[in-house]
Amino acid sequence: MNNVVWVSDQDASVLAALRPYRHLACQVHLYNTVLRHALNTDELAEAVPEVAETLLAVKALVRYLKQSGLASQLPTTVKQMAETRYNTVFLTLELIQSVHAELQELLQSRDESARLRNVSPDVLAFLVEFLRPFNDAQKELEGDKHPTLHLAVLWANKLKSHCQPDVADTPSQAVIRQRHLDWLTKTIEIQPLHKIAIFLWPKFNQLRMFTPAERTDIQQHVRILINRFRVGEVAAARWQEHTGQSDVSSAAAAGPAPKRRALEEVEKAWENVREESEDADEVQFYLSLNPTMEADGRDLLSWWKQHETTFPLLARLARMVFSVPASRSSSERAFSAAGRAIGERRTGLAPETVDAILFLHDAK
């Protein structure tokens, strides 16, 4: 259990239960926290009332559209804002902006144009564009097709940069940016494991987003971790030497020993080898090559699989690090889908059937 990293929200009871173990905060949950506080309408009503009015008016409008049945007359599905998933704020605002003309016409036909009166088109347009990067961050960080832990550093930097003051901002827009920047600074904390993950992304192994002192600390941390692998290998070798026994499970998995080739001894004598200094410091060797990523740079496990003979210890570390997700959203979706599949009238489903249903749901 000591090697397990738990990813969860910041609920006090959850943190108390996981205190004996290694824990990472779910990045998507942290960004939800940022947005929930930064877009608190009670506080916005004092600082930027026009923004608070627009948010409240949109929420009331969506509620009315759903209750009245008018939502079915719109070209797009209407979603209500939900505090538990704050990207729904962006999705709702984006929807209202995209169907604003249709809404005006629909409400005018019912003599209810007043329902759009407090929805400022300018405020709506700004909020949609301002919140879009937050939505993009959440979508990437909750992905389950490729590793995501290494993205935490880049998104934290991008969003903080996005929230910096802009000379073209109106006073209310400047307030919105500053509120989000303040909450990002308070809430988003980059942990050592996030830093190691970005180091193990070859495209960014120079760690230029950190100070020289931070780079040195990260590299040293990586050296300590891979040195533990060496210690374990030495201990296993000594055990085999003293007992004449090897790891039965690994031997069985390996299968029968391959036949010796005629030139095997000559090949071993002359084959390429790394210098001793490189073997002693695989981290420095990794940095000196300045490797680049193929494809889109996100399929990191494949890259490390291809280069594990060059960097055996770093590749082993990469497999461990990239098995940790940046967010718990993927598992939440799986549980939610299972809850919908196994309703009150479907409790007799066989486990294999549930697996098949969830597989098809995930493959959509």
**pLDDT tens by residue, 196-220:** 999 999 888 999 999 999 999 999 9
Tokens of 249: 């499970």
Statement: residue 279 has pLDDT above 60: no
Q: What whole-number distance in Å separates Cα of residue 158 and Cα of residue 134?
A: 10
- pLDDT at 325 exceeding the cut of 80: yes
Q: Given a cut of 90, is residue 2 above it in pLDDT?
A: no
Checking if the pLDDT of 250 tops 90, the result is no
52 compared with 23, residue with greater pLDDT: 52
199, 222 contact by CB (below 8 A): yes
pLDDT at residue 232 above 80?
no
More confident residue, 96 or 10: 96
Single-letter amino acid, residue 53: E
Domain residue extents for the chain: 328-363
Nearest to 317 by CA among 206, 232, 203, 212: 232
Q: Considering only residues 173 and 15, tell me which one the structure prediction assigns the higher pLDDT.
A: 173
**144 pLDDT higher than 70:** yes
Q: How confident is the model at residue 248 (pLDDT cuts 50, 70, 90)?
A: very low
* % helix, strand, coil for the chain, step of 5: 65, 5, 30
329 pLDDT band, cuts 50/70/90, is low
The distance of Cα 58 from the centroid of its chain, to the nearest Å, equals 29
Question: What's the alpha-carbon Rg for the chain, to the nearest Å?
Answer: 27
Residue-wise pLDDT tens digits, 182-197: 999 999 989 999 999 9
pLDDT for 88 beyond 70: yes
pLDDT tens digits for 296-307? 557 888 889 989
- pLDDT-based confidence at residue 252 (cuts at 50, 70, 90): very low
| Phi/psi at 293 (5° precision) | -95, 145
The pLDDT, as a whole number, for residue 364 is 58
DSSP for 199-213 reads: HTSGGGTT-TTS-HH
Q: What is the mean pLDDT of the chain?
A: 81
User: Over pLDDT 70: what percentage of the chain?
Assistant: 74
DSSP symbols for 86-140: THHHHHHHHHHHHTHHHHHHHHHHTT-GGGGTT--HHHHHHHHHHHHHHHHHHHH
- pLDDT of 347 over the 60 cut: yes
CB 137 within 8 A of CB 26: no
Q: How confident is the model at residue 362 (pLDDT cuts 50, 70, 90)?
A: low
Residue 357 has pLDDT above 80, yes or no: no
- Amino acid, single-letter form, for residue 267: E
Give the mean pLDDT of 127-146.
Answer: 91
Residue of 79, 126, 129 lying closest to 99 (CA atoms) = 79
For position 76, what pLDDT does the model report? Answer: 80
> How high is the pLDDT of residue 86?
61
Provide the phi-psi class of 189: left if phi over 0, else alpha when psi is between -120 and 50, else beta. beta
| Residues 298, 221: Cα–Cα separation, whole Å | 23
Q: What's the whole-number mean pLDDT along residues 173-179?
A: 96
Specify the pLDDT at position 134: 95
Mean pLDDT value across residues 74-99: 80
Q: What is the mean pLDDT of residues 97-115?
A: 89
How many angstroms separate the CA atoms of 106 and 221, rounded? 61
Q: CB of 278 within 8 A of CB of 310?
A: no
Each residue's pLDDT tens digit, 5-35: 777 776 767 667 777 777 788 898 899 999 9
Query: Can you spell out the DSSP letters for 207-262?
Result: -TTS-HHHHHHHHHHHHHHHHHHHHHHHHHHHHHHHHS---HHHHHHH-SPPPPPT
User: Around Cβ 27, how many Cβ atoms within 10 Å?
Assistant: 28
CA distance 40 to 55: 10
CB 328 within 8 A of CB 8: yes
Check if the beta carbon of residue 99 is closer than 8 Å to that of residue 116.
no
Say how many C-beta atoms besides its own lie within 10 A of residue 356's C-beta. 13
Is 311's pLDDT higher than 50?
A: yes
Q: Which two tokens stand for residue 172?
A: 């209310």
Tokens of 5: 């990293």
Cite the DSSP H helix spans in 244-325: 248-254, 264-270, 276-280, 282-289, 300-306, 312-321
Q: Whole-angstrom Cα distance, residue 204 to residue 213?
A: 16
Return the higher-pLDDT residue of 310 and 12. 310
